[in-house]
Amino acid sequence: MARRTRSAAKTGDSSRPNPFLVVLVVFFFLTSAGLGGWVYSMFNERYKHEEEHKKAAFEVKRLENELRYAEGIKYAWRAMMSDNKSDDKNQFKIANSEEYKQFMAFLEANDKFYEEKVKPKEEAAVAAGKEKDDAELTKEEREAKELKLIIETTQRDLGWDDATKTYKSTYTEQMAKLRKDAAKAREEGKGYLPEKLAMDKQFSALQTLFKEQHAKEFGKIVADNAGILAQTKANVKDIQASIEKNKATLETFIAKVEKDYNTTIETQKRKIKDLEGQLRDVGVIGEVKNVPPPAPLDKKSEAKQGGAGNYAGAPHALMLDISKGKTLWDVPRARVSRVTEGGRLVFLDKGSADGVRLQMTFNVFGAGWNNKAEKMLKGTVEVVRVEAKLSEARITALYDADGREIGLGEPSGSKALREGGNPIKEGDLLFNLAWGSHVAIAGVIDWNGQDSQTPAGQADDLEQFRNLLKAQGITVDCYIDLRDGKVIGTLRPETNFLIRGYGYAGLGKDELTDTHKAVNDSIAALRKEALERGLFVISPENFGVVIGYRRPASALSQATLDFRPSLPAAGGLGGVMQGGKQ
């Protein structure tokens, strides 16, 4: 037992830590921590010194840049002001001088910096939809931009010689000149001072006199107005009594006028209704009841029935425009502003700004008191020159007071004007019924009088006619292609006229081709639709008359048209001639 106890005691003593080793380990850790802290502190101080060194270097560079900028500004200022020295002593006009070299180097460095740094940012701002001033620039970039603007301004003010790279003048020279001019102006103004003082004294006297007279006259007016006001007040009772006395009489009169007016309106409505019924009966408007649409005519058949557009039941070319409820000559398109001395040319008060075009034609009428056409047709004109607000036109036809056309063959034109008794003069009205309207064309159009018989020739005539209408400001909504009989386009709500050409009804069976038949069928279909729509049907010849068109002719020609202006016959439309019988 005693042996086991000692062994246990010995074992317990060997498991205790060695104090020396413990102290040594603690000292090692403390030494390592201290040394690490010292090393960290040393590196931290070094980093701080490096950062301070960088800041100091940056500040030195900034100050150097600002110093160079200030020196450049100084050189630029001295170059603008010339140091109050003559050109031969001005260092900025001597290419080899140090000041000149420093100045040019400064300008070149600033331009280069602007092109490389500032300009790309400005261009990017503009591309992004911003102003140049919205570009994000540093302080140095803004200074470069401002300096460039200053240099450009001084170069404009003083002038810049690109060959010598120097200013042509200086602000010092310009200020000296201004002082000299000011001194000269002061010297010249000395003589005007006494005269000005005398005028000021006279003006003051006149102003005092005006105030006195004004006060005097104003007092008189106030006194007169007071008397008039008193008299007016005294008459008010008499006026009120008269009003009451006449009130019953006036009410009775108004009631009678209203009754008569209503009776007249009802009578006119009945008359209009009767006339519309008669017009529908003959096929002028609305549904055709009694008169069927005529078959397409050839030129020989048209001649037997009174010429183009005068077939039985056709509306007269100069009738009222029933479909629009207005007369043909109700809207003047322009006015004659001047007639030339020779009498062959007139000037109109409308131009291209109003839609006038070259080759437009017009009928000329005298102006009535209500700005409407008065009396007979005077003549026709064609536009030969157009400006923005006026046009020049030549006279293409003249009519005398009885409606007969006068030949324009005499070169001077004075005989025609003398014999006419119905001359075109300033203030006359110009009309073109179809200007700005829409039309349809049905059939063959012998517009140029050449009487083409081949399909190609007739197609060319139709194309010329369409081009003429376009020059007149007229839109062709539809027409018949004479090569196959098809209708090109369609009647529109805006269509105003059906220009009726002739067909091939007069051809024999051997001569009538499938194309001729197709053309005849298309003409009949367009006529029927036009009458159902209430369009105004008119022949090409009469259409030319109402727009004032005359075919080109020799200047010496005495030929005239068979057309003679007159009003349509009055009376009921129920008696239209049918095949020569009433």
Question: What three-state secondary structure class fits 377?
Answer: strand
Rounded CA-CA distance 24/18 in Å is 10
Segment 163-198, tens digit of pLDDT: 777 777 787 778 888 888 888 887 777 777 777 788
Percent of the chain residues past pLDDT 90, beyond the cut: 13
Q: Tell me whether residue 580 is exposed, middle or buried, using C-beta atoms within 10 angstroms of its C-beta: 0 to 12, 13 to 18, 19 or more.
A: exposed
- Give pLDDT, residue 382: 93
Q: Is the pLDDT of residue 575 over 50?
A: no
DSSP-H helix ranges across 430-569: 455-471, 514-533, 540-546
Range in 69-78, 267-276, 557-566 with the lowest mean pLDDT: 557-566
476: pLDDT strictly greater than 80: yes
pLDDT at site 99: 76
Residue 309 CA to residue 543 CA, distance in Å, equals: 10
pLDDT, tens digit, 9 for 90 and up, residues 463-473: 988 998 988 88
For the chain, the distance separating the N- and C-terminal CA atoms, rounded to the nearest angstrom, is 173
Tokens representing 114 are 């602007």
pLDDT class of 3 with cuts at 50, 70, 90: very low
Greater confidence, 277 or 481? 481
Cα(566)–Cα(453) distance, integer angstroms: 34
The residue among 323 and 271 whose pLDDT is bigger is 271
pLDDT (tens digit, 9 = 90+) per residue, 99-125? 777 778 888 888 888 888 888 888 888
At 31, the amino acid letter reads T
Q: Return the H-helix or E-strand segment holding 322.
A: none
pLDDT band with cut points at 50, 70 and 90 for residue 279: low
Cβ atoms of 525 and 486 closer than 8 Å: no
Residue 205 pLDDT more than 70? Answer: yes
* Over residues 467-492, mean pLDDT: 90
The pLDDT assigned to 13 comes to: 54
Domain boundaries, the chain: 51-190, 191-267, 282-320+433-551
- Identify whether the C-beta of residue 144 lies closer than 8 Å to the C-beta of residue 118: yes
Average pLDDT over residues 378-399: 92
Cα-to-chain-centroid distance, residue 300: 51
* 292 vs 49 pLDDT, higher one: 49
Could you report the per-residue pLDDT of 408-425, keeping only the tens digit for each?
Answer: 765 444 555 555 577 888
Q: In angstroms, rounded to a whole number, what is the distance separating the alpha carbons of residues 461 and 448?
A: 7
Q: What are phi and psi of 442, to 5 degrees?
A: -125, 110
User: Cα 167 from chain centroid?
Assistant: 47
Is residue 343 within 8 A of residue 413, CB to CB? The reply is: yes
| Report for 268-272, 301-305, 315-319: range of highest mean pLDDT | 268-272
Reply yes or no on whether the pLDDT at 10 is more than 60: no
Q: Given this model, what pLDDT does residue 190 score?
A: 72
Order of strands, sheet of 475-480, starting from the edge strand that comes earlier in the sequence: 487-489, 475-480, 438-442, 495-500, 536-538
State the average pLDDT over residues 440-449.
84
